[in-house]
Amino acid sequence: MESARELLDRKIEELRLYAQQGLLEIVDQLAEDLIREVQEGNLSEDEKEYYFQAIKSVSGVRAEKPADEEERIEAESSITNETVEFDPEQKMAYARTLIEIQEWDEAIKVLQEIAATGYSVEQCYELCGDCAAKKGDIDKAISFYEIVYSTPGLSSSDKERILDKITRCQQKKVHRKRAATLARVSSGMQKVEAIDYELTAPDLAEQFESFTDFIGNVAKSWVGRDGKPLSDNTYTYVLKDLLYVGRTHAVFEAYCQESGETFAACTLVQPWNRCVAFVDIAEWAYTCRMMSCDFLDIPYDLAEVNGIPFLIRKHYEKSLAEYVNEQGIMSMEKACLVAYQILEGLGYLHLHVGADGVKRKIYHLDLRPSRVFLNGNGRVYLAYGGLWKLLQSRCPTHTRPRNLPIAFLPYRAPEQFRTYLWSDKRPQVVTDVYLFGVLFYELLTGAVPFQAESVEEHEILHCDQKVMPPQVWRPEIPDELVEIVMKCLEVKPQKRWRSTTQILLLLEKFLGGPSRVKELIKRNRTVDSV
């Protein structure tokens, strides 16, 4: 244990260090305390005189031995009331000390005073933002960071750093709101209001109006050069109603005059319909038609109206996006069953032999809730496999992240932002694995891993930030599911699961084995009846 003298020696050494750093306000306060401690300590008069002189030599304050109580009070008063002028560098050192001891409000106050003098303005406001963020005042932090970001002449590296901080703050705001919402629901079973990313677009109204002109038109089966339609026969379809206009396609209710069945008729919207030729759609539709999988949406026919292609497919009750928006967060079992069926569809796409005997490897690359459909009994169907690859080849400019609608970007992999992370000449399984991870994360928590307001923010989040584990927003999620999701969402493609089969087997085990999974799917327990 330290003796009284050893303790005093150590405190004087600390006083000397503060003085060397220019923290004069702290030095004076500590000197005052030390003088009192020496005066009241069990020391000889010579020892007290020694310590008074030591304190005086460091602090420069009046540290003479008081003659009596009245003189002591007067001496202490003179120390307390002494005013010291600080230059900006000294104040900056003082501000950093306040930050170290987590006096956030006082640090912000001092930093703003320094900035008002014109000294290191950008650094001061960035530190203000850091303090506000540490304190939890996210809006205030963002306002400080925005001051720095808007500074003329700021270097690109500084801008990137500040943008990163702004993005993190905005992400915290989103997750806090989501966490607060989740806290109000019981076990994730009640309805949670969510954003329908697919159905929000400022320019869709104009496109919707233009597509209403097709209502009442009759689409006829397209016949290829070999004289054969895509389906087993030629049909006519009356376009009865416009159901949906999205970012890539419009959907009509189509009545088949020959069979009396109702289908969905899909056609590309601008700008995609300007750069994808009819023959491209026909070749893609043929490839899809050659598939045979219970978990894929297989086109029924390809029809045309005035040279415009309409893909004829089953008419589903809802997309997964619509279901999640209406019903909220799924139970753990339901989320896993939906994910399981999506994986079945992806696995088939990645490697299969078509009805024409051709071996194909197809990658989705655009996996979003609007690309998954549910029938009336809750069965899951993955749609539009391979379409994004076609759009990339025909519309390269429009498929770049910087030119995509912001609604697409939560469902993009790091290598889709930064192509050097994974060449498109290498197998794209890893990209589909990442996109599946985003979708599974959303099924489990009700929120996508990353939300942002700009392409730049999305790129930083997906490529430089680590995803918050889904347990943060839903603590009851088991560790084995967290491991599946987090490995799907690794930034480096080579660190992800190497195939959908790996994930499928883990989900199968979690759900109780292959027999139970098949029984659950057979009994249509994937989701509540829609």
Q: Please, which pLDDT band fits residue 387 given cuts at 50, 70 and 90?
A: very high
SS3 percent helix, strand, coil of the chain, rounded to 5, is 55, 10, 35
What percent of the chain stands above pLDDT 90? 48
For helices 69-80 and 24-40, the axis angle rounded to 10 degrees is 170
Of the candidates 160, 152, 384, the residue with the CA atom closest to the CA atom of residue 267: 384
pLDDT value at 530 more than 90? no
pLDDT value at 2 more than 80? no
3-state SS of 349-390 is HHCEECCCCCEECCCCCCCCHHHEEECCCCCEEECCCCHHHH
Instruction: Give a yes or no: residue 527 inside a domain.
Output: no
Instruction: Find the mean pLDDT for residues 420-431.
Output: 88
Residue with tokens 């993009």: 412
Instruction: Give a yes or no: residue 189 inside a domain.
Output: no
Instruction: Give a yes or no: residue 357 inside a domain.
Output: yes
What's the CA gap between 298 and 255, in Å, rounded? 18
What's the CA gap between 407 and 428, in Å, rounded? 22
Mark which of 80, 115, 133 sits at the end of a domain.
80
Q: How many CB atoms lie within 10 A of CB 508?
A: 18
pLDDT value at 7 more than 60? yes
Q: What is the mean pLDDT of the chain?
A: 83
248 plus 173 within the same structural domain: no
Instruction: Give a yes or no: residue 421 inside a domain.
Output: yes
Q: Please, which pLDDT band fits residue 414 given cuts at 50, 70 and 90?
A: very high
Instruction: Give a yes or no: residue 192 inside a domain.
Output: no
Q: Please, which pLDDT band fits residue 74 given cuts at 50, 70 and 90?
A: low
72 plus 99 within the same structural domain: no
Instruction: Give a yes or no: residue 528 inside a domain.
Output: no
134 plus 264 within the same structural domain: no
Instruction: Find the mean pLDDT for residues 236-249.
Output: 90
- Taking phi first (over 0 means left), then psi (-120 to 50 degrees means alpha), and beta for anything else, what does residue 412 get? beta
Of the candidates 211, 214, 265, the residue with the CA atom closest to the CA atom of residue 237: 265
Which CATH number covers residue 493?
1.10.510.10
Is 494 buried (19+), middle (13-18) or exposed (0-12) by CB count in 10 A? exposed
Kindly give, in sequence order, each residue whose CB lies less than 8 Å from that of residue 478, ignoring residues fewer than 6 positions away: 332, 510
Q: Please, which pLDDT band fits residue 190 given cuts at 50, 70 and 90?
A: very low
pLDDT for residue 358 = 96
Instruction: Give a yes or no: residue 414 inside a domain.
Output: yes
Mark which of 299, 314, 329 sits at the end of a domain.
314
Q: Tens digits of per-residue pLDDT, 465-521?
A: 889 999 988 999 999 999 999 999 999 999 999 999 999 999 999 999 999 998 888
Instruction: Please check whether residue 520 is in contact with residue 337, taking contact to mean a CB–CB distance below 8 angstroms.
Output: yes
Q: How far is CA 225 from the centre of its chain?
A: 47
Of the candidates 62, 68, 69, 5, the residue with the CA atom closest to the CA atom of residue 28: 62
Where do the H-state alpha helices sit in 101-239? 104-116, 121-135, 138-149, 156-183, 204-211
Full residue range of the structural domain in which residue 130 is found: 88-183
Instruction: Find the mean pLDDT for residues 277-286.
Output: 95
108 plus 64 within the same structural domain: no
Q: Please, which pLDDT band fits residue 59 given cuts at 50, 70 and 90?
A: low
pLDDT value at 25 more than 70? no
More confident residue, 106 or 58: 106
Instruction: Please check whether residue 311 is in contact with residue 300, taking contact to mean a CB–CB distance below 8 angstroms.
Output: no
pLDDT value at 323 more than 50? yes
Mark which of 263, 288, 314 sits at the end of a domain.
314
10 plus 129 within the same structural domain: no
Instruction: Please check whether residue 303 is in contact with residue 220, taking contact to mean a CB–CB distance below 8 angstroms.
Output: yes
Instruction: Give a yes or no: residue 487 inside a domain.
Output: yes
Task: Specify the length of the chain in residues.
Answer: 530
More confident residue, 13 or 90: 90
pTM, 2 dp: 0.66
Of the candidate ranges 73-87, 327-341, 373-387, the one whose mean pLDDT is the lowest: 73-87
306 plus 373 within the same structural domain: no
Which CATH number covers residue 206?
3.30.200.20
Instruction: Please check whether residue 122 is in contact with residue 151, taking contact to mean a CB–CB distance below 8 angstroms.
Output: yes
Q: How far is CA 408 from the centre of its chain?
A: 12
- Taking phi first (over 0 means left), then psi (-120 to 50 degrees means alpha), and beta for anything else, what does residue 524 get? left
238 plus 175 within the same structural domain: no
377 plus 513 within the same structural domain: yes
255 plus 217 within the same structural domain: yes
Which CATH number covers residue 112?
1.25.40.10
Instruction: Please check whether residue 280 is in contact with residue 243, taking contact to mean a CB–CB distance below 8 angstroms.
Output: no
326 plus 409 within the same structural domain: yes
pLDDT for residue 80 = 42
467 plus 508 within the same structural domain: yes
333 plus 475 within the same structural domain: yes
Number of domain units in the chain:
4
Q: How many CB atoms lie within 10 A of CB 418?
A: 15
Q: Tens digits of per-residue pLDDT, 29-47?
A: 778 878 888 888 788 887 8
Of the candidate ranges 58-62, 71-75, 137-141, the one whose mean pLDDT is the lowest: 71-75
